[in-house]
Amino acid sequence: MRVNHKIHIHAPIDTVFDWVANNDKVPLWMEGLDATEYTSYRDPDNPTGTTFRQRMTEFGRTVEYAGEITDYQFPTLLAVTLKHPRFTMNVSYKLSEGSEGVWLHYEVSLIEGDGMVSKLTKMMGWYLKKVASTQLNKIKELAEQKNSPES
């Protein structure tokens, strides 16, 4: 299953990418993110291959994902893989400059790991679409605030 969402943001591409890729800022737009811990060295100039653990609260439960940064191209692409015992998610944030701002394209593909997930695929698709919309709208709000003349 694949979910795509895109949004136009009135801010410089570097600003938007910082909101997407800066670990200190991600919890401000990713609801339920409790912690991210790197499990390997993270080269700030080229973090591709860096592994991490992400702890989230989902539906009132704590869930842990094993992650890896699979592609990083400043300031246009961040891609990660998140593994759960029952499924894997490949997530990408692609940025491109447009007229008066940036297009942020989000894509997640869900790879089912067991039969339980395939039974819940319809519900998960709806949930992933809702999460994508909420997260991208929050990134837009934050990046545009930072970019406003009053900031």
| Encoded tokens for 48 | 């591709």
For the chain, 151 residues long, the average pLDDT of each consecutive 10-residue run is 94 97 96 97 96 95 97 98 92 95 96 69 79 96 78 46
Predicted local distance difference test score (pLDDT) of residue 117: 63
What pLDDT, on the 0 to 100 scale, is given for residue 86? Answer: 84
- Domains for the chain: give ranges and CATH numbers: 2-147 (3.30.530.20)
Global pTM? 0.91
Q: For residue 151, what pLDDT is reported? A: 46
